[in-house]
């Protein structure tokens, strides 16, 4: 959410930002509603002040009964008018709030023009694309042959996009989590296990609803299952004032994640690329309200994720997302995409974003600056690692001609020292 004063003073900038993000938003409509809100609020306050004056006049010792009766009638009329205006104010506030949460954040000037992910711009690559002297297999075949997963029973139990990981598949996923936990905590991140079941306010605060509500699972109690650990982690400090000395806050959040994948029918329906239930470790940072700091930490988060992929030995590239491929609240976003041999292309595994005070204003996360002034913090987040999706690149890039899979060195200590997953040996891990 942006400050209404900022919106009023930068109407053209808001309009240009919405157009760059390809978001349909009428800033003039918001300002019209805000004018009505302000006018009505002033009228209510003036009538209440007048009501107080009338009340004081009624209690004056010099007022005779006729004067008191007249003033009581005036008081009654004011009360009715205030009630009418307060009811109208409530209606206007609902409309104003709906428009305010729909205001898109302004993208950075470095964000390229574009409509969707086809217009994202590659900025760097890492690693050599593997060249096999045999026909490489996809992760589904490799996992089934090595008894690492069961997709048929996954569908039977959990429905469409359901899956079981087992034996070396389960151990490999646990190994990724443990390696990531060690890797990122050594870089100053505080580990947290955060809730996936969250209240509506937490999703509003982080900007995932109302726009993204169709992709969320909702409980019978009107709570939600979050699609990323960022949601609960950001809300951890909601309605709090953080000591300046404690900034920046670096948090590493682990959680199950749930997405309906609304609108993705027919897209990568098999295997573990696009599933309804998965797990993430998420980097989250709260820092001072400084654009320069946000930019610095954005690059830091992205570098952390890249270097973990490099430790896994996975070829990848980084793209800067175009205006049409960044969300409502993001100022700038990078995607990291890992190489998938079976697809002969990169597939998105990480996203890295900063928001300025878009989320913290909604969540009321503040700090006192060096002068003692209360300010909204800036927020950033970046995928540390998401599973089981990253297993695709680990398995496919490390496959051998006989169908066995070389375990990346960084993961071996977490897999009892096993260096190769071979057929028939999965249960020995």
DSSP letter assigned to residue 238: T
Asked about 362 being catalytic, the answer comes back as no
Residue 127 makes CB contacts below 8 A (sequence gap 6+) with: 310, 313, 314, 315, 316, 339
How does residue 144 score in pLDDT terms, banded at 50, 70 and 90? very high
Element (H, E) at 146: none
- CATH code matching the domain that covers 4-100, chosen among 3.40.50.2300, 3.30.465.10, 3.40.50.12280, 1.10.287.40: 1.10.287.40
Looking only at the bridges linking them, the beta strands covering 277-287 and 378-387 are: antiparallel
Tell me the CA end-to-end span of the chain in Å, nearest whole number: 49
The active-site residue, picked from 352, 379, 389, 393, is: 389
Q: Looking at the DSSP assignment, which residues form a beta bridge with residue 224?
A: 198, 218
Distance CA(365)–CA(376), nearest Å, equals: 6
Residue ranges per structural domain of the chain: 4-100, 117-428
Q: Which residue spans within 210-265 are E strands per DSSP? A: 217-218, 224-225, 240-242, 249-258
Catalytic residue among 235, 351, 352, 353: 351
Phi and psi at residue 58, to the nearest 5°: -60, -35
Under CATH, domain 117-428 is a member of which superfamily?
A: Bira Bifunctional Protein; Domain 2 (3.30.930.10)
For 323-369, the pLDDT digits (tens) are 999 999 999 999 999 999 999 999 999 999 999 999 999 999 999 99
Q: How confident is the model at residue 182 (pLDDT cuts 50, 70, 90)?
A: very high
**Lowest-pLDDT range, 75-89, 164-178, 227-241?**
75-89
Report the pLDDT value the prediction gives residue 67, as an integer from 0 to 100.
67
- Told to judge if 352 belongs to the known catalytic residues of this protein, a careful annotator would answer no
Place of tokens 């976003």: 333
Q: Which of 74, 95, 145, 348 is catalytic?
A: 348
Please determine, for residue 56, whether its predicted confidence score (pLDDT) is greater than 90: no
Q: Mean pLDDT in the chain?
A: 92
- Please tell me which residue in 274, 343, 375, 412 is annotated as part of the active site: 274
Known catalytic membership, residue 299? no
pLDDT band at 268 (very low <50, low <70, confident <90, very high): low
Q: Give residue 66's pLDDT.
A: 73
Pairwise CA distance, residues 204 & 183, whole Å: 31
What is the average per-residue pLDDT within 5-18? 94
Tell me if residue 171 is catalytic: no
Mean pLDDT of 96-121: 95
For 193-225, write each residue's pLDDT tens digit.
999 999 999 999 999 988 788 889 999 999 999
Alpha-carbon span 365 to 242, nearest angstrom? 8
Helix (H, G, I), strand (E, B) or coil at 195: coil
Of residues 250, 259, 362, 366, which has the active-site annotation? 259
Taking phi over 0 as left and psi of -120 to 50 as alpha, with beta for the rest, 379 belongs to beta
Domains 4-100 and 117-428 share a fold: no
pTM for the whole structure? 0.90
Asked if 250 is an active-site residue, the reply is no
Nearest to 122 by CA among 301, 296, 335: 335
Strands 277-287 and 405-406: unpaired
């Amino acid at each position: 959410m942006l400050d209404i004063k900022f919106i009023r003073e930068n109407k053209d900038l808001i309009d240009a930002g919405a157009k760059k993000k390809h978001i349909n938003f009428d800033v003039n409509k918001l300002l019209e509603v805000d004018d009505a809100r302000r006018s009505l609020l002033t009228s209510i306050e003036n009538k209440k002040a007048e009501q107080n004056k009338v009340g004081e006049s009624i209690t004056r010792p010099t007022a005779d009964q006729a004067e008191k009766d007249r003033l009581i009638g005036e008081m009654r009329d004011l009360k009715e008018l205030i009630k009418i205006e307060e009811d109208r104010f409530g209606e206007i506030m609902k409309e104003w709030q709906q428009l305010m949460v729909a205001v898109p954040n302004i993208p950075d000037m470095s964000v390229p023009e574009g409509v969707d992910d086809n217009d994202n711009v590659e900025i760097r690559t890492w690693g050599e694309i593997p060249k096999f002297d045999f026909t490489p297999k996809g992760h589904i075949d490799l996992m089934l042959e090595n008894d690492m997963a069961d997709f048929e029973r996954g569908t039977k139990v959990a429905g469409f996009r359901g899956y079981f990981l087992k034996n070396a598949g389960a151990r490999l996923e646990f190994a990724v989590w443990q390696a990531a936990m060690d890797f990122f905590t050594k870089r100053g991140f505080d580990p947290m296990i955060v809730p996936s079941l969250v209240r509506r306010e937490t999703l509003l605060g982080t900007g995932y609803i109302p726009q993204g509500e169709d992709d969320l699972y909702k409980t019978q109690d009107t709570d939600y299952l979050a699609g990323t650990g960022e949601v609960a982690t950001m809300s951890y400090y909601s309605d709090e004032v953080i000591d300046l000395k404690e900034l920046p806050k670096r948090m590493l959040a682990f959680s199950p994640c749930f997405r309906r994948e609304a609108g993705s029918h027919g897209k990568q329906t098999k295997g573990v690329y696009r599933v309804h239930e998965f797990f993430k470790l998420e980097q989250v940072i709260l820092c001072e309200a400084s654009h320069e700091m946000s930019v610095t930490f954005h690059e830091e988060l992205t570098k952390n994720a890249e270097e973990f992929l490099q430790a896994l030995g996975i070829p990848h590239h980084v793209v800067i997302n175009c205006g049409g491929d960044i969300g409502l609240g993001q100022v700038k976003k990078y995607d990291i995409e890992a190489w998938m041999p079976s697809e002969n292309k990169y597939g998105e595994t990480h996203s890295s974003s900063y928001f300025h005070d878009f989320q913290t204003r909604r969540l009321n996360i503040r700090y006192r600056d060096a002068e003692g002034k209360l300010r909204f913090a800036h927020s950033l987040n970046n995928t540390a690692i998401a599973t089981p999706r990253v297993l695709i690149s680990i398995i496919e890039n490390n496959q051998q001609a006989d169908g066995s899979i070389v375990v990346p060195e960084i993961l071996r200590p977490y897999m009892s020292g096993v260096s190769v997953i071979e057929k028939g040996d999965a249960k020995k891990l």
